[in-house]
Structures are given as structure tokens and as C-alpha cells.
């Protein structure tokens, strides 16, 4: 049997405090009415009953990060020549993300195929990814916006986690999934967990049963390409959209960014910041031309990328983890599930001669 341990709910903060002695520990806590992942503070209340408002994406892929600090200087032998010296800011230190859900952690596997590709490796992402461990909290219940089972996942999916914590009576069963996970379970605050395994299995089965049977999405990649040029279809399904971008900023698997150089005098910094494909400026060219001029064009790209273009590039893997945040937090009530199903079911009108 894999290494399993049990921890009482009342000991969670003490355990995180131990882990924080040698690592930066991120945990879900309140920021106003929202629940976000922030560095662990024993004085703050940790929220675990429901998924956080945002995913822990920024723990590895920050909303804004300094990539390079640079300095301009003049060549003393040729004052018309400007030289540039740059210094990379490669992330250092180790981190532990506690309390993310299986769908949250699964999102990083979609990043990995892009940012850790053999030909193009992002050194900043790689540094954080290799030095971050995940203690993931399985879901003991689901919400109406959850659809992880649509994308080959589930409430107790262990993919990408080092430790999976399953809620049981008065605490959590902790299952080590990697060698790193085994090291995280060395605390004296933990006790034997074998007696809780059966209870944990029942919790997982109950949560999975709540989701019901998923629809067949095998035709989604092909069907979305079939309606690619049908702008009437995309105008209809995007009519409610406000182009606010909440869906992309909350999504655990959206990885688009923009690069800006901010300089003062002879010094400056190159900064990478999250970007939003639902923004009208996202594809605006310097010439003024925009290949995605309307929200219908932008919605086509967002949905098409997740359920068609990405799967076609990455062995059929959907670039959506089914967390449902884009549905739950959309101010206009947009539902990406409905758009995908409408594309699958769409049949062009037959014109009778």
C-alpha cells in the first residue's frame, strides 16, 4: 500500500507552519469576499470547504513577473554606440501549494506541454515548476458548474499532485503520490492512515456519482473546425458576452501573456503579465488591423483553442480542466459547456433548390 497518513483538521495550521520553515507555503485564504492562494499566515483563516475563487496558477505563473533587469551604457570609445547589459531574474527557493483542487493542479499539465517543450523551454516557469510541490484537496462534493468528468478527470484525480488529501471524519486522509510527497508526510502531527482508506474511497465515489455521466466530446475538435467560418453561429453563442475577460483570468489552463519594457533613464525591467484573449487589444497589430475584430471572433478562438486546436496538437488532451470558474464567475451567465455542445450538435441548414 502507498504511504498514507491521517491528520486532524485542528492540526492543519501547525503542519503548514512546520512546512513553512523551509518552504514558501501557499494556502487558500480570504481577500475580501474572494478566496485566493497567498503565502501561509498562521494568523489568517484558511478556507477549505469549497474551491477557491481563483486557482493557484499564479504560484508558478505569476500575474506579473520581472524577467530581466537591463542597463544602458555608452561605449566610452564610441559615444554614439549604446550597449545593453541584462540580468535574468530566475526564481529561487522551494514552494508548497496546499488546498488546491485536482482540477487546479491538472491545469499545470496543460502549461507543461507548452512551456516545457523540448525546443522551447521557459526557464522562469521551469524553475518554479520543478521546485513546487502540491498537496491537493480532493472534492467531497460538487457544484452545478463542475464538469471535470467531461475532460477525463474527477473529484479525486491525483494527476500532478504530490499528496492527495481526502476529507474524512474530523480530518483528512493524506496519500503520498511521489517521493516528494512521502517526505512531506514525515511530521509527528500525522498518524497512521490505513484505517481511513475505506472511508476516503467512499467519499470519492460519492463525489464522482454526483457528477453523473459526461457527454461524448470526441467529435468536439472536428465539429469546432466545421463551424470555424460560420460567424452567425459564433455571434449567436457569444451574444451575452461582455468581453470582460474574467473567464481567462480565472482559468487554471489559460497561459497567454504580454511582454512590456519599463525603463527610467538608463535602467529598466522587462515584465511579463497575464493577457486576455477576450480583449479587443489582444490581437491588435501595429498597423491597426485586428484579425479578431469582434467578440464573436475572440470567443471562437477561446473555445476552439481549448477543445480543438490544443487537442489536435497535444495527443487529444483538452486544454480545459472542468473547474467551472468561467461559468460560476461570469457576470453575463456564459456557459462554455453549452457552446461546445451546440458546436457538436450543429448541422448546417439544407438549402432546397
If you average pLDDT over residues 168-194, what whole number do you get?
A: 96
User: Looking at per-residue confidence, does 264 or 348 come out higher?
Assistant: 264
Pairing of strands 163-168, 171-176: antiparallel
Tell me the per-residue pLDDT of 120-133, one tens digit each, with 9 for 90 and over: 899 999 999 999 99
How does residue 352 score in pLDDT terms, banded at 50, 70 and 90? low
If you average pLDDT over residues 11-38, what whole number do you get?
A: 97
Q: Are 270 and 85 in contact, with CB atoms under 8 Å apart?
A: no
Total length of the chain: 353
Tell me the per-residue pLDDT of 283-301, one tens digit each, with 9 for 90 and over: 999 999 999 999 999 999 9
If you average pLDDT over residues 146-154, what whole number do you get?
A: 97
Residue percentage of the chain with pLDDT more than 70: 98
Count of CB atoms within 10 A of residue 6's CB?
21
The answer to whether residue 260 scores a pLDDT higher than 60 is yes
Q: Are 278 and 244 in contact, with CB atoms under 8 Å apart?
A: yes
Hunting for cell 466530446 — which residue is that?
217
How does residue 248 score in pLDDT terms, banded at 50, 70 and 90? very high
How far apart are alpha carbons 342 and 214 in whole angstroms? 15
How does residue 315 score in pLDDT terms, banded at 50, 70 and 90? very high
Burial 88-119 (b: 16+ CB within 10 A, else e): eeebeeebbbbbbbbbbbbbbebbeebbeeee
Instruction: DSSP letter for 351, please.
Output: P
For residue 55, give the nearest of 35, 33, 32, 25 by alpha carbon.
35
Q: What is the pLDDT of residue 115?
A: 97
How does residue 1 score in pLDDT terms, banded at 50, 70 and 90? low
Q: What is the pLDDT of residue 75?
A: 84
Count of CB atoms within 10 A of residue 39's CB?
13
User: Looking at per-residue confidence, does 350 or 231 come out higher?
Assistant: 231
Q: What is the pLDDT of residue 348?
A: 79
Q: What is the pLDDT of residue 79?
A: 80
For residue 325, give the nearest of 36, 62, 25, 48 by alpha carbon.
36
How far apart are alpha carbons 295 and 309 in whole angstroms? 19
Measured CA to CA in angstroms, residue 132 lies from 24, 26, 126 at distances of 9, 10, 10
Burial 216-234 (b: 16+ CB within 10 A, else e): ebeebbebbebbeeeeebb
How far apart are alpha carbons 193 and 26 in whole angstroms? 24
Q: What is the pLDDT of residue 347?
A: 87
Pairing of strands 163-168, 132-137: parallel
Tell me the per-residue pLDDT of 35-93, one tens digit each, with 9 for 90 and over: 999 999 999 999 999 999 999 999 999 999 999 999 999 888 888 888 899 999 999 99
How far apart are alpha carbons 328 and 340 in whole angstroms? 17
The answer to whether residue 304 scores a pLDDT higher than 70 is yes
Q: What is the pLDDT of residue 78?
A: 84
Q: What is the pLDDT of residue 2?
A: 82
If you average pLDDT over residues 158-169, what whole number do you get?
A: 97
If you average pLDDT over residues 269-273, what whole number do you get?
A: 97
How does residue 353 score in pLDDT terms, banded at 50, 70 and 90? low
How does residue 197 score in pLDDT terms, banded at 50, 70 and 90? very high
Q: What is the pLDDT of residue 170?
A: 93
Q: Are 228 and 300 in contact, with CB atoms under 8 Å apart?
A: yes
The answer to whether residue 251 scores a pLDDT higher than 90 is yes
If you average pLDDT over residues 239-258, what whole number do you get?
A: 95
Residue 263's contacts (CB-CB under 8 Å, 6 or more residues apart) are: 70, 72, 269
- Listing DSSP states for 314-339 in one string gives TTT--S-----HHHHT-TT---HHHH
Hunting for cell 524553475 — which residue is that?
127
Please report, for the chain, the start and end positions of each structural domain, with discontinuous segments joined by +.
Answer: 4-345
Torsion angle of the four alpha carbons 167, 170, 175, 179, in this order, in degrees rounded to the nearest 10: 120
How far apart are alpha carbons 37 and 235 in whole angstroms? 36
Amino acid at each position: 500500500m502507498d504511504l498514507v497518513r491521517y491528520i486532524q483538521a485542528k492540526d492543519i495550521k501547525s503542519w503548514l507552519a512546520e512546512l513553512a520553515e523551509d518552504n514558501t507555503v501557499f494556502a487558500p485564504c480570504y481577500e475580501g469576499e474572494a478566496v485566493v492562494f497567498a503565502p501561509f499566515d498562521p494568523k489568517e483563516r484558511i478556507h477549505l470547504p469549497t474551491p477557491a475563487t481563483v486557482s493557484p496558477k499564479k504560484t508558478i505563473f505569476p500575474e506579473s513577473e520581472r524577467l530581466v533587469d537591463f542597463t544602458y551604457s555608452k561605449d566610452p570609445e564610441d559615444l554614439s554606440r549604446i550597449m545593453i547589459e541584462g540580468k535574468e531574474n530566475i526564481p529561487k527557493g522551494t514552494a508548497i501549494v496546499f488546498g488546491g483542487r485536482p482540477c487546479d493542479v491538472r491545469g499545470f499539465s496543460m502549461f507543461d506541454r507548452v512551456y516545457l517543450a523540448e525546443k522551447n523551454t521557459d526557464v522562469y516557469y521551469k524553475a518554479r515548476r520543478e521546485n513546487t510541490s502540491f498537496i491537493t484537496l480532493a472534492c467531497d462534493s460538487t457544484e452545478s458548474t463542475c464538469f471535470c468528468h467531461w475532460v477525463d478527470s474527477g473529484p479525486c484525480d491525483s494527476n500532478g499532485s504530490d499528496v492527495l488529501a481526502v476529507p474524512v471524519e474530523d480530518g483528512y486522509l493524506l496519500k503520498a503520490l511521489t517521493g516528494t510527497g512521502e517526505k512531506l508526510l514525515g511530521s509527528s502531527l500525522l498518524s497512521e492512515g490505513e484505517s481511513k482508506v475505506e472511508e476516503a474511497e467512499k467519499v470519492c465515489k460519492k463525489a464522482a456519482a454526483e457528477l453523473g455521466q459526461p457527454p461524448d466530446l470526441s467529435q468536439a475538435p472536428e465539429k469546432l473546425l466545421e463551424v470555424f467560418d460560420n460567424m452567425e453561429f459564433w455571434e449567436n453563442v457569444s451574444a451575452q458576452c461582455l468581453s470582460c475577460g474574467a473567464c481567462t483570468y480565472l482559468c487554471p489552463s489559460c497561459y497567454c501573456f504580454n511582454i512590456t519594457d519599463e525603463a527610467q533613464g538608463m535602467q529598466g525591467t522587462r515584465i511579463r503579465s497575464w493577457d486576455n484573449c477576450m480583449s479587443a487589444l489582444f490581437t491588435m497589430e501595429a498597423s491597426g488591423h485586428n484579425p479578431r475584430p469582434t467578440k464573436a471572433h475572440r470567443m471562437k478562438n477561446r473555445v476552439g483553442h481549448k477543445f480543438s486546436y490544443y487537442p489536435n496538437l497535444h495527443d487529444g488532451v483538452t486544454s480545459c480542466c472542468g473547474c467551472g470558474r468561467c461559468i460560476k464567475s461570469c457576470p453575463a451567465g456564459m456557459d462554455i459547456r453549452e457552446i461546445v455542445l451546440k458546436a457538436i450538435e450543429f448541422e448546417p441548414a439544407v438549402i432546397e433548390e
